[in-house]
Amino acid sequence: MTIIVGQDTAKTRKTLTVGGESVAYYSIPAAEAAGLGDFSKLPAALKVVLENMLRFEDGKTVSVDDIKAFAEWANLGGKNPREIAYRPARVLMQDFTGVPAVVDLAAMRDGLKALGGDPEKINPLNPVDLVIDHSVMIDEFGNPRAFQMNVDREYERNIERYTFLKWGQKAFNNFRVVPPGTGICHQVNLEYLAQTVWTDVDQDGATVAYPDTLVGTDSHTTMVNGAAVLGWGVGGIEAEAAMLGQPISMLIPEVVGFELTGKMMEGTTGTDLVLKVVEMLRAKGVVGKFVEFYGAGLDNLPLADRATIANMAPEYGATCGFFPIDGETLRYLRNTGREEARVALVEAYAKENGFWRGDDYAPIYTDTLHLDMGTIVPAISGPKRPQDYVTLDKAATKFFDVVNEYRGVDTSPAAREMAAEAPTPDTPRDPRKSVKVKGEDYEIRDGSVVIASITSCTNTSNPYVMIGAGLVARKARALGLNRKPWVKTSLAPGSQVVSAYLEAAGLQEDLDAIGFNLVGYGCTTCIGNSGPIQTELSQAIAEGDLIATSVLSGNRNFEGRISPDVRANYLASPPLVVAYALAGDMNIDLTTDPLGTSKDGEPVYLKDIWPTSKEVAELVEETVTRDAFQSKYADVFKGDDKWQEVETTDSLTYDWPASSTYVQNPPYFKDMAPEAGTISNIEGAKVLAILGDMITTDHISPAGSFKDTTPAGKYLVERQVPVREFNSYGSRRGNHEVMMRGTFANIRIKNEMLDGVEGGYTKGPNGEQMSIFDAAMAYQDAGVPLVIFGGEQYGAGSSRDWAAKGTNLLGVKAVIAESFERIHRSNLVGMGVIPFEFTGGDTRKSLGLKGDETVAIHGLEGDLKPLSEVPCTITFADGSEKTIQLKCRIDTAIEKEYVENGGVLHYVLRNLAKSAA
Give the C-alpha separation, 577 to 448, whole Å. 14
Strand ranges in 494-556 using DSSP code E only, listed in sequence order: 549-552
Helix (H) or strand (E) holding 473: helix 463-478
SS (H, E, C) 567-591: CEEEECCHHHHHHHHHHCECCCCCC
Contacts of 39 (CB under 8 A, 6+ apart): 28, 31, 32, 47, 50, 70, 71, 74, 354
CB-based contact 367:257 (threshold 8 Å): yes
Give the C-alpha separation, 23 to 33, whole Å. 20
In this prediction the pTM is 0.83
CA neighbor of 868 nearest in space, from 846, 896, 827 = 896
Provide the pLDDT for residue 173: 92
Provide the pLDDT for residue 182: 86
Provide the pLDDT for residue 522: 75
Instruction: Find the range with the poorest average confidence among 137-151, 305-319, 530-544.
Output: 137-151
Per-residue pLDDT averaged across 239-259, rounded?
90
Q: Which residues pair with 770 in a beta bridge?
A: 762
CA neighbor of 234 nearest in space, from 314, 133, 131 = 314
CA neighbor of 214 nearest in space, from 333, 309, 87 = 87
Give the C-alpha separation, 660 to 664, whole Å. 7
Count the residues in the chain.
917
Contacts of 662 (CB under 8 A, 6+ apart): 158, 160, 161, 164, 731, 732, 734, 735
Looking at mean pLDDT, say which of 312-316, 685-689, 702-706 comes out highest. 685-689
CA neighbor of 348 nearest in space, from 87, 18, 592 = 18
Give the tens place of pLDDT for each residue, 764-796: 999 999 999 999 999 999 999 999 999 999 998
Q: What are the CA-CA distances from residue 529 to residues 161, 468, 533, 617 (Å)?
A: 17, 25, 11, 32
Contacts of 578 (CB under 8 A, 6+ apart): 452, 454, 469, 472, 473, 476, 511, 514, 516
Q: Are strands 596-597 and 761-763 parallel, antiparallel or unpaired?
A: unpaired
CB-based contact 446:547 (threshold 8 Å): yes
Contacts of 53 (CB under 8 A, 6+ apart): 62, 66, 67, 70, 84
3 state DSSP class of 816: strand
Residue 8 pLDDT > 60, yes or no? no
* Domains delineated in the chain: 90-375 (3.30.499.10), 379-414+434-628 (3.30.499.10), 682-701+785-916 (3.20.19.10), 703-742 (no CATH)
Q: For the beta carbon of residue 123, count every other beta carbon within 10 angstroms.
A: 17
| C-alpha torsion sign, points 736, 560, 223, 576 | negative
Give the C-alpha separation, 472 to 130, whole Å. 35
Sheet containing 568-571, strands listed edge to edge, beginning at the edge strand earlier in sequence: 389-391, 379-381, 568-571, 549-552, 449-454, 488-491
Provide the pLDDT for residue 217: 86
Give the tens place of pLDDT for each residue, 165-224: 999 999 999 999 999 888 888 999 999 999 999 999 988 889 999 999 999 988 899 999
Contacts of 766 (CB under 8 A, 6+ apart): none
Contacts of 118 (CB under 8 A, 6+ apart): 112, 916
CA dihedral 608, 611, 613, 615 (to 10 degrees): 130
Instruction: Find the range with the poorest average confidence among 143-152, 372-381, 605-614, 775-784.
Output: 143-152
Give the C-alpha separation, 757 to 790, whole Å. 17
Give the C-alpha separation, 727 to 156, whole Å. 10
Per-residue pLDDT averaged across 264-280, rounded?
96
Give the tens place of pLDDT for each residue, 719-732: 999 998 898 898 89
Q: What are the CA-CA distances from residue 135 to residues 100, 153, 159, 161, 494 (Å)?
A: 14, 10, 11, 10, 13
Give the tens place of pLDDT for each residue, 870-882: 999 999 999 999 9
DSSP string covering 853-878: -EEEE-S-SSSPPTT-EEEEEEE-TT
Looking at this protein, which amino acid is placed at residue 778?
A
Angle at 417 between CA 413 and CA 418, to 5 degrees: 120
DSSP string covering 410-448: --SHHHHHHHHHS--TTS------EEEPTTSS-EEETTB
